[in-house]
């Protein structure tokens, strides 16, 4: 997830399709208002508010989200005070005129006449143009000396890794390497002759996420993140260790 802080009042966030899949979301879930998206957006809104030093008593936090052609999501968040809202009045009038031009009947007719991927691309272009017009309502005058800041961070600060092993020896080696990572909870299950280690990792540090995945590739026979299969294993498999499985397994074959 790439976060670009435009200034002290505006932040743009981009989430790649692969990151969406990792947290169990899809572009369609954003369009359809899936409850999981609501939870994710609420968490992201809180994070953006902290970055912008948002005061809910005297300011408003506006958020818009757009689904891009490549399946990624772009979220624009802006903080507005009463003074900002007053200054935005003229921009709102201009935006109204701009929207009327974007939804010109001729353009709509052209979209309706297209087929397949061309229709989807044309509609996406229209939505993107409309979003651009709307964003102009919120974008404030650049402040002298302000600098754009960009940062990369995981899409969520907590993820459950389901790590699959054929032997307990390999699992023990994995646990020894990752036991010092910020693991919040872990449990161990067995099903169909294989072992499944559930590891809840809470971090926004890319290095920690990378280390967990690197160790999974090196030691495990399978690695998935926030997968629905986790619930199936927990319901149908045999629970071997309910809590602190990583620490217990780390010392098993030391």
pLDDT in tens, 84-104: 777 766 666 776 777 777 777
C-alpha closest to that of 168 among 192, 195, 186: 195
73-81 and 149-152 as β-strands: parallel, antiparallel, unpaired? Answer: unpaired
CA distance 150 to 125: 26
pLDDT of residue 145: 47
C-alpha closest to that of 237 among 246, 245, 226, 229: 229
Question: Residue 83 contacts by C-beta under 8 Å, 6 or more apart in sequence?
Answer: none
> Does residue 58 carry a pLDDT above 90?
no
Contact of 172 with 249, CB cutoff 8 Å? yes
Predicted TM-score (pTM) of the model is: 0.45
Least confident of 149-153, 170-174, 178-182: 149-153
pLDDT of residue 128: 72
Domains with residue ranges and CATH for the chain: 2-152 (no CATH), 158-250 (3.30.70.1950)
CA distance 114 to 117: 9
pLDDT tens track for 204-232 = 777 788 788 888 888 888 888 877 788 88
pLDDT of residue 195: 95
Q: Which residue(s) pair with 29 in the sheet?
A: none
pLDDT tens track for 113-169 = 888 878 888 887 777 777 666 666 555 554 454 444 544 455 567 788 899 999 999
Token duo for residue 204:
């926004």
C-alpha closest to that of 246 among 176, 154, 193: 176
Task: Report CA 137 to chain centroid distance, whole Å.
Answer: 25
């Amino acid at each position: 997830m790439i976060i670009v802080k435009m200034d002290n009042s505006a932040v743009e966030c981009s989430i790649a399709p692969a990151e969406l899949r990792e947290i169990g979301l899809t572009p369609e879930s954003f369009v359809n208002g899936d409850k999981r998206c609501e939870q994710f957006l609420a968490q992201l809104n809180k994070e953006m508010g902290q970055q912008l030093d948002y005061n809910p008593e005297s300011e408003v936090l506006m958020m818009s989200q757009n689904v891009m052609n490549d399946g990624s999501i772009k979220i624009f968040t802006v903080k507005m005070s009463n003074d900002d809202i007053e200054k935005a009045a003229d921009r709102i009038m201009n935006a109204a005129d701009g929207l009327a031009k974007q939804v010109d009947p001729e353009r709509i007719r052209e979209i309706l006449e297209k087929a397949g991927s061309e229709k989807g691309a044309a509609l996406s272009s229209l939505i993107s143009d409309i979003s651009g017009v709307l964003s102009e309502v919120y974008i404030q005058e650049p402040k002298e000396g302000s600098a754009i800041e960009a940062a990369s961070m995981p899409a969520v600060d907590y993820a459950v890794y389901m790590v699959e092993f054929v032997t307990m020896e390999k699992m023990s080696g994995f646990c020894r390497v990752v036991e010092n990572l910020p693991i919040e909870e872990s449990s161990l299950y067995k099903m169909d002759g294989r072992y499944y280690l559930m590891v809840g990792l809470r971090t926004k540090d890319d290095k920690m996420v990378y280390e967990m995945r690197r160790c999974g590739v090196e030691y495990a026979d399978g690695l998935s993140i926030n997968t629905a299969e986790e619930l199936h294993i927990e319901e149908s498999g045999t629970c071997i260790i309910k809590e602190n499985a990583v620490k217990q397994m780390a010392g098993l074959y030391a």
